[in-house]
Amino acid sequence: DTAVSQTPKYLVTQMGNDKSIKCEQNLGHDTMYWYKQDSKKFLKIMFSYNNKELIINETVPNRFSPKSPDKAHLNLHINSLELGDSAVYFCASSSLRGEQFFGPGTRLTVL
């Protein structure tokens, strides 16, 4: 029973394409996040949703658009992919205490 799941695990695509990553959590948490981890392993928050409402929107290009159809799902759509978008993208959810549970990650490679 995976707590936070993401699909796909790997994504290899050409520059300029549009792609989506899906995330689901079965922990009953109200808050979900998207993080980007670059090649130097820095973890940077991109977005956060609380009960389907966007509450954190860091300085992320408009090509990235999150969508939360319900509080258990948070998807990430990326338009016009660029080389610099190559990274590992982690979805996470958090309890009221704040501890975060991460998904397994999606390794995106843009060629």
Q: Residues interacting with another protein, by CB under 8 A?
A: 31, 35, 41-45, 48, 50, 55-56, 90, 92, 94, 97-105
Can you tell me the distance from the alpha carbon of 96 to that of 56, in angstroms, rounded to the nearest whole number? 16
Shortest distance in whole angstroms from residue 4 CB to another protein: 9
According to DSSP, the β-strands at 106-110 and 10-13 are parallel
Can you tell me the distance from the alpha carbon of 73 to that of 27, in angstroms, rounded to the nearest whole number? 11
Shortest distance in whole angstroms from residue 94 CB to another protein: 6
When the beta carbons of 14 and 39 are compared against another protein, the nearer one is: 39
Can you tell me the distance from the alpha carbon of 28 to that of 98, in angstroms, rounded to the nearest whole number? 14
Q: What is the largest CA-CA distance in the chain?
A: 40
When the beta carbons of 92 and 110 are compared against another protein, the nearer one is: 92
When the beta carbons of 45 and 60 are compared against another protein, the nearer one is: 45
When the beta carbons of 12 and 42 are compared against another protein, the nearer one is: 42
Question: CA geometry: angle at 56 spanning 105 and 32, to 5°?
Answer: 40
Shortest distance in whole angstroms from residue 86 CB to another protein: 16
